[in-house]
């Protein structure tokens, strides 16, 4: 077995095992470090910490490679729909024709929402952010669809996974209908997963509606692009909640909350707001670039940069192509796309962005597609959540079956006061 050697104060040395993953990458196994040396490691943001062994997604940020269960993202987007990819992530293999049909039938069967849950939506204030409703409704599922692990744990987990995959789509569409103040449209057996979602969002009893095939294809592709991204912030939140024994609904609800932030999934909403601002102000993209470079200004170029990718995000490349397809189909040119393209060119040729390896990420073009589809800005992160759901489920399941699983519990470097005595209240300043 390969080993690393650690010297402390140049004197005492300790051997640490090296683990080599299936792609040949090496990691120092520090599980016994504290026991051996009395020391811990310090890694805020976990940039150098492998928190688990996983078989789900491979990501090479230097080369711009993304694979789910070994399949390239480009291949999956080209040849599969979202449900096949969800099945792949959750079950570990692509479904055959029979399994695909059976899964579609199961998803349809579990797509309705308990009637009592429907009344919750109406009680939210009109200005509510859809992500807050989504997180609350998903954790509420655990009250309506109990998980009885005493009976047949594997069957119960299967049922929960299927319910979550199907009902979260219904919840997302109902959230939009609530915001619009229109009646809910229930899912229909005659539509596929994405067409069903678009129908629940946009159909009306008074205006004929039929989901547009280009938009159905685009939605499938976008959801596939978002379906997993190994140990990102929200997936880590899901695993952490799972590690405490939290059920799947509560873990996914926690993942939704983590995703909401503008540095993570909330960036797709922030990108459109940034482009819109540039458009409304009539300012040129150079001003945005200068602000993003200014150390005294918290402004960042949204949709740019990534913890892992140090080259063009492969998802952004595909999203840009999908964007062109959707706009072309609609015979439209969005002024925000022109601004986005100009911004991308300006940033890619600027030394600050080149030196720091800041490239467009997945969120840079997706908002323009959602906008063309008629999805309102504050629903974009909900769309990201729908896509990421199978990834969250796959990680929760992987943790559940992991022989090395322990509760997630990092340590810290304590930098506070050493020891103090409580003074009487009269003596306190």
Q: Which residues pair with 360 in a beta bridge?
A: 304
List the x/- string, 44-63, binding to ligand CMC by CB under 6 A: -x------------------
Catalytically annotated residues: 306, 363
Cβ proximity to ligand CMC: between 103 and 384 the closer is 384
Does 239 bind ligand CMC (CB under 6 A)? Our answer is no
List the x/- string, 358-387, binding to ligand CMC by CB under 6 A: x--xxx------------------------
Asked if residue 266 lies in contact with residue 300, where contact means CB atoms within 8 angstroms, the answer is: no
For 5, 93, 274, 294, 411, the CA distances from 287, given in Å and listed in that order, are 50, 48, 12, 11, 42
Look at residues 150, 144, 142 and name the one whose alpha carbon lies nearest to residue 248.
142
Q: Of 141, 292, 323, 386, which one interacts with ligand CMC (CB under 6 A)?
A: 292
Query: What angle is formed at CA 34 by the lines to CA 32 and CA 40, rounded to 5 degrees?
Result: 120
Does 180 bind ligand CMC (CB under 6 A)? Our answer is no
Does 291 bind ligand CMC (CB under 6 A)? Our answer is no
Total number of residues that touch ligand CMC (CB under 6 A):
20
- Give the whole-angstrom CA distance, residue 217 versus residue 343: 27
The token pair that represents 249 in the structure block: 């609904």
Q: Which helix (H) or strand (E) holds 4?
A: strand 3-8
Does 307 bind ligand CMC (CB under 6 A)? Our answer is yes
Cβ proximity to ligand CMC: between 198 and 285 the closer is 285
- Give the whole-angstrom CA distance, residue 227 versus residue 229: 7
Q: Which residues pair with 60 in a beta bridge?
A: 65
Cite the beta strand spans of 281-329 per DSSP E: none
Q: Which residues pair with 57 in a beta bridge?
A: 68
* Contact region with ligand CMC (CB under 6 A), list: 135-143, 181-189, 250-258, 296-304: 296-304
Does 130 bind ligand CMC (CB under 6 A)? Our answer is no
List the x/- string, 253-282, binding to ligand CMC by CB under 6 A: ----------xxx-x---------------
Does 302 bind ligand CMC (CB under 6 A)? Our answer is yes
Residues at the site binding ligand CMC, with contacts judged by CB under 6 A: 45, 232, 263-265, 267, 292, 300-307, 356, 358, 361-363
């Amino acid at each position: 077995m390969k080993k690393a050697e650690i010297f402390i104060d140049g004197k005492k040395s300790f051997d640490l095992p090296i683990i080599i993953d299936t792609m040949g990458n090496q990691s120092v196994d520090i599980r016994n470090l504290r026991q051996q040396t009395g020391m811990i490691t310090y890694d805020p943001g976990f940039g150098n910490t492998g928190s688990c062994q996983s078989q789900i997604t491979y990501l090479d940020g230097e080369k711009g490679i993304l694979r789910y269960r070994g399949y390239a993202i480009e291949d999956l987007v080209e040849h599969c729909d979202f449900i096949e990819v969800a099945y792949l992530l959750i079950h570990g293999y692509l479904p055959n024709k029979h399994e695909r049909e059976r899964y579609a039938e199961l998803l349809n069967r579990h797509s309705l929402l308990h009637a009592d849950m429907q009344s919750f939506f109406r009680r939210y204030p009109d200005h509510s952010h859809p992500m807050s409703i989504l997180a609350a409704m998903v954790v509420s599922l655990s009250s309506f669809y109990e998980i009885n692990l005493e009976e047949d744990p594997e069957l119960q987990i299967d049922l929960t996974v299927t319910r979550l995959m199907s009902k979260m789509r219904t919840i997302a569409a109902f959230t939009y209908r609530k915001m619009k103040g229109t009646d809910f449209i229930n899912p229909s057996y005659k539509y596929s997963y994405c067409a069903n979602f678009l129908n629940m969002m946009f159909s009306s009893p008074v205006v004929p509606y039929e989901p547009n095939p280009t938009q159905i294809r685009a939605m499938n592709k976008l959801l596939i692009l978002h379906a997993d991204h190994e140990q990102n912030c929200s997936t880590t939140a899901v695993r952490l909640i799972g590690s405490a024994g939290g059920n799947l609904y509560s873990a996914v609800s926690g993942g939704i909350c983590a995703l909401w932030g503008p540095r993570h999934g909330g960036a797709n909403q922030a990108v459109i707001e940034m482009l819109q601002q540039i458009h409304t102000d009539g300012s040129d993209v150079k001003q945005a670039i200068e602000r993003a470079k200014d150390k005294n200004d918290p402004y960042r170029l949204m949709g740019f940069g990534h913890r892992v990718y140090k080259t063009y995000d492969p998802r952004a490349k595909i999203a840009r192509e999908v964007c062109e397809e959707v706009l072309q189909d609609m015979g439209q040119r969005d002024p925000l796309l022109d601004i986005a393209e100009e911004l991308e060119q300006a940033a890619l040729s600027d030394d600050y962005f080149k030196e720091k390896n800041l490239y467009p990420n997945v969120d840079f073009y997706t908002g323009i597609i959602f906008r063309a589809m008629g999805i309102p800005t504050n629903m974009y992160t909900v769309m990201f959540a729908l896509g990421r759901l199978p990834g969250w489920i796959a990680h929760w399941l992987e943790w559940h079956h992991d022989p090395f699983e322990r509760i997630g519990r990092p340590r810290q470097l304590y930098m506070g006061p050493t020891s103090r005595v409580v003074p009487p209240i009269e003596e306190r300043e």
